[in-house]
Structure 1
């Protein structure tokens, strides 16, 4: 492996150490000093995007307005644009949001921490909110889920399985159902959807 790639991988691992369930986002912002720090262009992530899209389209072929919670650099936004009339993305990193805007100029993007994301979009409701691979960086997941549910009739969440084990109880309440896991080689993501009573 290229020595530069080895160093980048070690640095990413260091940045992620202690970031789970802490609500401290400084290290996550630093990760975006590298482009595509999560390897979103990889076959693994592209497979996840395609499977996520299939799960969403099994609920509705298209959504009027979509909020992508934790949009990163807009890699998954590219697929969400295809099923939405209006896509709005939110992420904690200014660098990531700038890259997302360049990647998807037809969408709108904002910088905000997970806990503050909805304060910058006051009084707006969405037909769908997605939170893919992001909630396990927050300190109070249930509080964030409650805020998201207040702005939509349908909330889709996916979590990398080793992290999902620690938060699965948050998706066991009224209106939640577990979808089929997404799998790519040895990687598994658990997927959940919450729907308001009128959507069930």
Structure 2
């Protein structure tokens, strides 16, 4: 699972092209806590879809969301390319119906499963990190049974970026608008339902302000067509100058009350302002 800043303690550190979240790290500021709340709300949304099902969490990160779904799933396997994240998950979350495995990057390695073995695949905040999206989706489709469900959640570029702008998050390859995501998913899934994730203005105010500020400050190094090495160098410099998320330090020693939580997040068709696109894609009933 991905977040907005690399993970930091208990030996969990994101790889060069990925981001990881552990629960304690995201309690130090209101902005960091909002990311945790959005992640938690995403897994809460998934619970009815995975109840009584055999599930794959593709991009499980440090495993806390996967473990939460294990409470209702028949069996769930979490996979991630970061060995440190998987080791953290294995050490902290142990249940009879729960397994964590390290996998290779999907650009070079197939998923280590037979065809048609899962009822549901969840993959949250992952697709924006993937270069070979066609292979990523084909592998997900391959391991899903007929009538299976793919739950995909990714940031909505509509709020984060100017038209045509490259991502200002250095770890993101492509950020999608809703119809762009639908078109990509439709290459493997004929039935795609799009929803939006939002919250009240008091909850989102700081996040939306960050989006507006960051897309403006980084535009000189993220305009359409800029070479990726220039974009990466530029956004890293801007991040150092303006400061990034505070997650990645030591735990704060207790959870603070910021006055909101996962119950304040809403997932619905046409939700605005939409911070994350929530896609529910289905395979045909007969393969």
TM-score using structure 2 length: 0.52
CA distance in 2, matches of 1:136, 1:44: 16
In structure 1, the residue matched to 2:41 is 50
Verify: 1:155 aligned to 2:242, yes or no: no
SS of the aligned residue for 1:148 comes to: helix
1: distance between equivalents of 2:185 and 2:114?
25
| Deviation per residue, 1:26-84 (Å, 9 max, x gap) | 5046x66x956984983433344334433551xx4613211000000012113211221
How far has the Cα of 1:113 moved from its partner? 2.9
Question: Structure 2: how far apart are the matches of 1:69 and 1:37?
Answer: 22
Coordinate RMSD, CA, aligned: 3.2
Q: Runs of 4 or more off by more than 6 Å in structure 1?
A: none
| Bigger radius of gyration | 2
Question: 1:121 & 1:180 partners in 2: Cα distance?
Answer: 29
User: Where do residues 40-189 of structure 1 align in structure 2 (5 Å cutoff)?
Assistant: 42-54=33-45, 56-57=47-48, 60=49, 62-106=51-95, 107-115=98-106, 116=109, 118=111, 120-123=112-115, 125-152=117-144, 153-162=148-157, 163-165=175-177, 168=181, 169-173=183-187, 174-184=189-199, 185=204, 186=208, 188-189=275-276
Structure 2 unaligned segments of length 5 or more: list them.
Answer: 7-13, 158-174, 209-273
Cα distance, 1:117–1:149 mapped onto 2, change above 3 Å = same
Secondary structure at the counterpart of residue 76 of structure 1: helix
Count of matched residue pairs: 173
* Aligned 8 A contact 1:48 1:182 in 2: no
Task: Map 1:29-48 to 2 at 5 A.
Answer: 39=26, 42-48=33-39
The gaps in structure 1 that reach 5 residues or longer are 1-8, 13-24
Structure of higher RCO (CA pairs closer than 8 Å, 6+ residues apart): 2
